[in-house]
């Protein structure tokens, strides 16, 4: 079981040039001549240290440099047997995944300095925000005629739409994002997790009966569409009934009805967020994105797959075949090594 420490300050310190290159669109070989020696050294160090980190901590994964200092491939051992198949094409998941380190660092730094909660202020600030965007955050919003009746759209969003951001960047110090991996049952991290300033959990992951392993503290909970439709059950997972519930999809009438009639007193919001260009876009990634937007530092627990990387396991239910488990595993390895890219030994945080 690993704790993936995401102290991106280390990556940013050695990779500032990477951010600059990506932002100005120079992430290719022709741009090298425009860089200073210090910038080139920073990029070389970022890619070199990243490769060392993957070799040391990737449990068999290997990082291979791409066509420039930003591009890298993370490869699984050749004897890995993937199980996941694309439901549309039937193709088996691959063993190699390409990433852009410069893009990743720049995107995560952008997240760290912005709000990830949908607000009325955000919609109002968009050009044609109500007619072009607001209806997309309402279930079956396509039938609302681009919010031609703005009052109706406001009514449907009112219970989950604060006027201004309820949280600000770096509002919390140390935060923990808790995944659902079955590996959590291998180590009793409960007390350690409860010592964080804020704890972020996902979907219907239970706390009761597992506190020795996953702790009892819960500050935020990220919910997908299915969990959001069972909002009345989700609020029972935290005995304090103080969790802020963050929906990553849309608001719907069932949710509004439960908030009013149960009633649900927990804060309930809709997520904004960046697009990370990865197939690993599950609730865990959105939880991490949210944590980075409000915390100084973020540690991750329970984001591993079984030792053969063949299927997702969950600490509270039977193993099940997950969505793109290999791509997800590679993506989280990339994030870990961007966080500790100047360390070759992570014994203190693994």
pLDDT at residue 320, rounded to an integer: 60
State the total domains in the chain. Answer: 2
Q: Of the candidates 197, 37, 19, which has an alpha carbon nearest to the alpha carbon of residue 111?
A: 19
Residues 186, 65, single domain; the answer is no
Are 180 and 299 in contact by the 8 Å Cβ rule? The answer is: no
Strand partners of residue 178: 301
Residues 208, 345, single domain; the answer is no
pLDDT at residue 2, rounded to an integer: 38
pLDDT at residue 25, rounded to an integer: 52
Tell me, yes or no, whether 9 lies in a domain: no
156: domain CATH number is: 3.90.1480.20
Structure token digits, residue 19: 């951010």
| End-to-end CA separation in angstroms for the chain | 7
Residues 107, 140, single domain; the answer is no
Residues 75, 206, single domain; the answer is no
Residues 189, 257, single domain; the answer is yes
Tell me, yes or no, whether 12 lies in a domain: no
pLDDT at residue 88, rounded to an integer: 83
Residues 184, 314, single domain; the answer is yes
Residues 270, 150, single domain; the answer is yes
Low-confidence ranges of the chain (pLDDT < 50): 1-15, 23-24, 26-29, 275-280, 307, 309, 340-350
pLDDT at residue 311, rounded to an integer: 57
Can you give the residue range of the structural domain that contains 345? 36-113+331-349
CA distance 136 to 133: 6
Tell me, yes or no, whether 23 lies in a domain: no
Structure token digits, residue 177: 């994002």
pLDDT at residue 32, rounded to an integer: 53
Residues 195, 76, single domain; the answer is no
CA distances to 31, 44, 290 from 41, in Å? 14, 5, 32
Helix H, strand E, coil C: the string for the chain is CCEEECCHHHHHHHHHHHHHHHHCCCCCHHHHHHCCHHHHHHHHHHHHHHHHHHHHHCCCCEEEECCCCCEEEEECCCCCCCCCECCCCCCECCCEEEEEHHHHHHHHHHHCCCCCECCHHHHHHCCCHHHHCHHHHECCHHHHCCCCCHHHHHHHHHHHCCCCCCCCCCCEEEEEEECCCHHHHHCCCHHHHHCCCEEEEECCCCCCCCHHHHCCCCCEEEECHHHHCCHHHHHHHCCCCCCEEEECCCECHHHHHHHHHCCCCCCEEEECCCCCCCCCCCHHHHHHHHHHHHEEEEEEECCCCCCCCCCEEECCEEEECCCCHHHHHHHHHHHHHHHCCCCCCCCCCC
Residues 56, 92, single domain; the answer is yes
Residues 295, 148, single domain; the answer is yes
pLDDT at residue 47, rounded to an integer: 86
pLDDT at residue 162, rounded to an integer: 97
Tell me, yes or no, whether 28 lies in a domain: no
Residues 225, 314, single domain; the answer is yes
Residues 168, 68, single domain; the answer is no
């Amino acid at each position: 079981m690993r704790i993936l420490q995401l102290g991106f300050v280390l990556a940013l310190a050695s990779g500032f040039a990477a951010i600059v290159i990506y932002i100005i669109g120079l992430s290719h070989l022709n741009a090298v001549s425009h860089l200073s020696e210090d910038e080139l050294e920073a990029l070389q160090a970022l890619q070199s240290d990243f490769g060392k980190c993957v070799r040391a901590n990737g449990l068999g994964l290997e990082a291979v440099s791409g066509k420039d200092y930003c591009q890298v491939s993370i490869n699984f051992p050749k004897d890995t047997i993937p199980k996941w198949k694309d439901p549309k094409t039937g193709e088996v998941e691959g063993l190699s995944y390409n990433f852009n380190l410069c893009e990743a660092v720049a995107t995560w730094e952008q997240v760290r300095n912005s709000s990830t909660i949908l607000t009325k202020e955000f919609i109002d600030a968009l050009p044609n925000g109500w007619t072009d965007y607001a209806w997309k955050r309402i279930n079956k919003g396509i039938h609302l005629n681009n919010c031609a009746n703005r009052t109706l759209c406001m009514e449907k969003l009112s219970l989950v739409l604060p006027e201004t951001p309820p949280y600000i960047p770096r509002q919390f110090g140390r935060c923990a994002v808790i995944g659902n991996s079955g590996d959590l049952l291998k180590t009793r991290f409960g007390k350690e997790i409860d010592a964080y300033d804020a704890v972020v959990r996902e979907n219907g992951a239970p706390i009761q009966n597992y506190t020795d392993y996953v702790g009892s503290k819960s500050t935020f909970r990220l919910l997908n569409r299915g969990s959001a439709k069972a909002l009345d059950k989700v609020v029972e997972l935290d005995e304090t009934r103080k969790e802020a519930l963050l929906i990553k999809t849309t608001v719907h009438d069932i949710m509004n009805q439960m908030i009013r009639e149960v009633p649900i007193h927990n804060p309930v919001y809709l997520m904004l967020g960046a697009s990370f260009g990865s197939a690993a876009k599950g609730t865990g990634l959105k939880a991490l994105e949210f944590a980075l937007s409000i915390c100084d530092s973020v540690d991750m627990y329970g984001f591993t797959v079984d030792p053969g990387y063949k299927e997702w396991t969950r600490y509270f239910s039977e193993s099940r075949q997950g969505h793109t488990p290999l791509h997800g595993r590679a993506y989280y390895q990339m994030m870990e090594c961007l966080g500790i890219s100047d360390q070759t030994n992570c014994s203190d945080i693994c």
